[in-house]
């Protein structure tokens, strides 16, 4: 009896550990459709938002169909469903490098589901399954790195700078899919604002960027559902600077979409930078 109890504990512990390493989500489709329904897309976006603070190792997406239709048709439709989910991930700043598997599995046979209602069974089989595997152990960023990078940014603004120079705010990090910065970024933005207030001779363009989209496209702003996230990120910083006392005459703002990725971690492509466009003689 004791051995059986120990065995049960081992199995339950293994399941718990496994669940801690993977997150799953399912998206359901209408008959013969691969467009994601509105309510299902909102559920998926909510799931994506939970991934923001997770170090992801890989994402797998599997498409499925019900048992109606020919095998070749179901294979094609299930692949289209998987591809549709991948596009939503990409449009919401999830790096495609993390998506390691996008596979249409075809139909799910009715007999493998324990459910008497055939219509309900088939509805549950028209789906895509998403499996997010976490990195172990999670990657940690040393606080000292942030301090050094922030100091370099403010020093560049205060120091010897010329027209055409860019100042990248590497630690002004944005929430995935949103125009607003993370709480830790507010203090850094404040210090940069003070430096720009001291340098009244600098005129500049605020350039907003996004990560992870295809073909240099802009990403979707989750708040408005518009594909202009890089633009509204630049506008967010522009409004912040103006509110803190920097003259609007000194600033412009523009969205750069995903034209200039930095090549590092995706979070650093969710960024803003300023391009110095003019330096007046009067300081």
Task: Report whether pLDDT(18) > 50.
Answer: no
Q: In percent, how much of the chain has pLDDT > 90? A: 33
Write down the pLDDT at residue 254: 92
Predicted confidence band at 4 (pLDDT cuts at 50, 70, 90)?
Answer: very low
Q: In percent, how much of the chain has pLDDT > 70? A: 83
Predicted confidence band at 111 (pLDDT cuts at 50, 70, 90)?
Answer: low
Mean pLDDT, rounded, for 49-78 = 87
Q: pLDDT tens-digit profile of 32-45?
A: 999 999 999 999 98
Predicted confidence band at 149 (pLDDT cuts at 50, 70, 90)?
Answer: very low
Q: What does the chain come to in residues? A: 283
Residues of the chain within CATH 3.30.1330.60 domain(s) are: 17-134, 143-279
pLDDT, mean over the chain: 81
Predicted confidence band at 29 (pLDDT cuts at 50, 70, 90)?
Answer: very high
Dump the DSSP string for 213-276: -GGGPPPP-TTT--S-HHHHHHHHHHHHHHHTT--GGGEEEEE-TTSS--SS-GGGTS-EEEEE
Assign domain 17-134 one CATH number from 3.40.50.2300, 3.50.30.30, 3.30.1330.60, 3.40.50.800.
3.30.1330.60
- Say whether pTM exceeds 0.85: no
Say which range, 65-74, 138-147, 164-173, 267-276, has the weakest mean pLDDT: 138-147
Write down the pLDDT at residue 131: 92
Structure tokens at 251: 């600033």
Burial class (CB within 10 angstroms; exposed 0-12, middle 13-18, buried 19+) of 269 = buried
Mean pLDDT, rounded, for 7-22 = 50
Mean pLDDT, rounded, for 111-115 = 54
Half-sphere exposure of 7 (CA within 13 A, CB side): 4
Task: Report whether pLDDT(171) > 60.
Answer: yes
Do the Cβ atoms of 137 and 251 come closer than 8 Å? Answer: no
Mean pLDDT, rounded, for 154-175 = 84
Q: pLDDT tens-digit profile of 172-209?
A: 888 888 888 888 888 889 999 999 999 999 999 999 98
Write down the pLDDT at residue 110: 61
Task: Report whether pLDDT(229) > 80.
Answer: yes
Mean pLDDT, rounded, for 223-228 = 87
Write down the pLDDT at residue 22: 86
Q: What are phi and psi of 274, to 5 degrees?
A: -115, 140
- Please tell us whether the domain made up of 143-279 is placed in CATH 3.30.1330.60: yes
Residue owning tokens 């169909």: 65
């Amino acid at each position: 009896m004791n051995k059986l109890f120990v065995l049960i504990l081992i199995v339950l512990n293994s399941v718990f550990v496994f669940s801690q390493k993977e997150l799953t989500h399912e998206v359901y489709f209408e008959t013969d459709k691969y467009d994601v329904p509105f309510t299902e897309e909102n559920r998926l976006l909510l799931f994506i938002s939970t991934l923001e603070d997770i170090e992801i190792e890989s994402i797998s997406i599997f498409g499925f169909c019900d048992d109606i239709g020919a095998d070749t048709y179901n294979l094609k439709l299930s692949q289209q469903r998987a591809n549709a989910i991948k596009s939503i991930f990409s449009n919401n700043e999830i790096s495609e490098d993390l998506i390691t598997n996008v596979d249409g599995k075809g139909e799910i046979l009715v007999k493998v589901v324990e459910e008497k209602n055939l219509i309900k069974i088939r509805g549950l089989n028209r789906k895509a399954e998403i499996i997010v595997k976490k990195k172990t152990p999670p990657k940690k960023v040393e606080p000292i790195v942030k301090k050094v990078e922030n100091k370099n940014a403010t020093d560049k603004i205060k120091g010897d700078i010329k027209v055409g120079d860019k100042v990248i705010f590497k630690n002004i990090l944005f929430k995935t899919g949103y125009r607003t910065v993370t709480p830790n970024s507010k203090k850094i933005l404040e210090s940069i604002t003070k430096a720009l207030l001291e340098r009244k001779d600098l005129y500049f363009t605020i350039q907003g960027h996004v990560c992870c989209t295809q073909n240099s496209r802009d990403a979707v702003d989750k708040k408005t559902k518009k594909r202009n996230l890089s633009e509204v990120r630049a506008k967010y910083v522009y409004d912040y600077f103006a509110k803190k006392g920097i003259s609007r005459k000194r600033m412009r703002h523009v969205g750069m979409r995903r034209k200039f990725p930095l090549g590092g971690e995706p979070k650093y492509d969710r960024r803003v930078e300023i391009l110095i466009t003019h330096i007046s003689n009067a300081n």
